[in-house]
């Protein structure tokens, strides 16, 4: 009797071990294939510690919205954000709601801070996409390039992020419309 139960249990365990990672991969690929792409301009990061391990830590310039009805929001509360593309081509926060939008291109996130003023408030958001993973040997080179960006205000750095039904995936990071990996290759070829 025990042998009869062990084999189905073992097979079920094997299937579960494969199902979870495959479901995660499928979910992220669906966001990349069906999600809407937005360019998020990055903000300078403290140059003494912009990397931890095998990923780049990204800060974004556009992470807040001024509103007159901040009373419906709470610190650390879940919100749904819709984005617009500004005249400069970068993502801008279009609206923040406490209910799920009827479209596919929204981000589910939380509020990190609310700054109240006399007639309005500024709602600051916490983005779930602040890490861009890279090959380990490229991280120090990318760190150097990123520090150069901070010194040179003419360089534009941004992350191309796909957003679909509340979730987001960083597709690539760019410096002046060139992939950061290509910038590293070019820099290596010069040296």
pLDDT in tens, 137-181: 777 777 777 667 666 777 788 999 999 999 999 999 888 888 988
Edge-to-edge order in the sheet of strand 36-43: 59-60, 36-43, 157-164, 167-175, 178-179
pLDDT averaged over every residue in the chain: 83
Rounded to whole angstroms, the Cα distance separating 122 from 93 reads 12
- The upper half-sphere exposure of residue 75, i.e. CA atoms within 13 Å in the direction of its Cβ, equals 4
Within its chain, how far is the Cα of 113 from the centroid? 18
The torsion defined by the Cα of 92, 93, 95 and 97, in degrees rounded to 10, comes to: 160
Strands 55-57 and 121-126: unpaired
Tell me, what's the pLDDT at 141?
A: 78
Q: What is the pLDDT of residues 61-101, one digit of tens each?
A: 899 999 888 788 888 899 999 999 999 999 999 999 999 99
Confidence bin at 45 (pLDDT 50/70/90): low
Report residue 38: phi and psi, to 5°.
-130, 145
3-state secondary structure of 140: helix
Measured CA to CA, the distance from residue 12 to residue 17 in angstroms comes to: 9
Q: In degrees to the nearest 10, what's the CA dihedral of 106, 109, 110, 112?
A: -100
Q: β-pairing, 59-60 with 55-57?
A: unpaired
| Strands in the chain per DSSP E | 36-43, 51-52, 55-57, 59-60, 64-67, 78-85, 91-97, 106-116, 121-126, 131-133, 157-164, 167-175, 178-179
pLDDT of 164 reads 94
């Amino acid at each position: 009797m025990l042998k009869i139960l062990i084999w189905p249990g073992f097979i079920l365990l094997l299937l579960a071990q494969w199902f979870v990672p495959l479901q995660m991969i499928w979910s992220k690929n669906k966001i990349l294939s069906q999600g809407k792409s937005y360019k998020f301009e990055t903000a300078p990061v403290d140059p003494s510690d912009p990397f931890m391990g095998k990923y780049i830590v990204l800060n974004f310039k556009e992470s807040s919205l001024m509103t007159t009805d901040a009373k419906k929001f709470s610190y650390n509360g879940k919100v749904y954000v819709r984005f617009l593309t500004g005249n400069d081509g970068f993502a801008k926060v279009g609206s923040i709601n406490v209910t799920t939008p009827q479209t596919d291109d929204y981000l589910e996130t939380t509020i990190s801070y609310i700054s109240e003023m006399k007639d309005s408030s500024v709602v600051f958001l916490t983005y779930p996409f602040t890490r861009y993973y890279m090959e380990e040997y490229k991280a120090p080179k990318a760190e150097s390039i990123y520090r150069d960006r901070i010194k040179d205000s003419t360089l534009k750095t941004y992350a191309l992020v796909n957003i679909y039904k509340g979730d987001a995936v960083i597709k690539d990071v760019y410096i002046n419309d060139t992939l950061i990996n290509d910038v590293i290759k070019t820099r290596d070829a010069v040296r």
